[in-house]
Amino acid sequence: MGPAIAVIALALAATGLLWLRRRLLVVTVDGPSMEPTYHQGDRVVVRRRHAAQLRLGDVVVIERPDDDGTWPAHSLPQRWLVKRVAALPGGKVPADLAPALAEQAGVDVPPGSLVLLGDNAANSYDSRYIGYFPADRLLGVVRRRMSPTAA
């Protein structure tokens, strides 16, 4: 292979890697809220998505609100939560979301909002406490676990 072809191949490979980095990210699971599906320290591959591309049951990564429940300005470092989609905009709020959305049970989820739950209901900071998550804080959908849980 000549030097010009090698340079072109290298440029194409670099472009492909840049494209993948914009579409795929790796996030580390922090906490037990998604057990038994994901565990503390699991690394997951996340594909960037918009809320309009979500389906019920998708596991998503979304920005975490501050401890006082307010949503921070988009600044670094961002803190992420891994949760499962329980209701999408226009869908019905599930009936078992006390206390934060208890009065909203059966009501349509407002535009730009998501209802997200952890698989470990006893230990999950999710829509049961936060209420609606703003869809514009969504990072993407978990595609797969990158590394197994350490034993």
Give the per-residue pLDDT at 55.
97
Which residue in the list 33, 113, 124, 127 is annotated as catalytic?
33
Catalytic residue at 147?
no
Token output for 125: 């900071």
Q: Is residue 62 within 8 Å of 83, Cβ to Cβ?
A: yes
CATH code that applies to domain 24-147:
2.10.109.10
Q: Where are the alpha helices (DSSP H) in the chain?
A: 3-23, 127-130
Q: What is the pTM of this model?
A: 0.82
99 to 1, 44, 82, 107, 108: CA distances (angstroms): 66, 30, 20, 15, 17
124 has pLDDT over 70:
yes
- Please choose, from the candidates 96, 149, 101, 107, the residue with its C-alpha nearest in 3D space to the C-alpha of residue 127: 101
Give the per-residue pLDDT at 9.
53
Catalytic residue at 113?
no
Percent of the chain whose predicted confidence (pLDDT) is above 90: 62
- The structural domains of the chain, with segments of one domain joined by +, span 24-147
Which residue type, as a one-letter code, is found at position 9? A
Query: b/e string for 84-104 if b means 16 or more Cβ within 10 A?
Result: bbbbbbeeebbeebeebbeeb
> Residue holding tokens 């580390």?
28
Please name every residue paired with 25 in a beta bridge, in sequence order, or none if there are none.
46
Which residue type, as a one-letter code, is found at position 141? V
pLDDT (tens digit per residue) in 95-114: 888 778 888 889 999 999 99
- Please choose, from the candidates 61, 75, 37, the residue with its C-alpha nearest in 3D space to the C-alpha of residue 116: 61
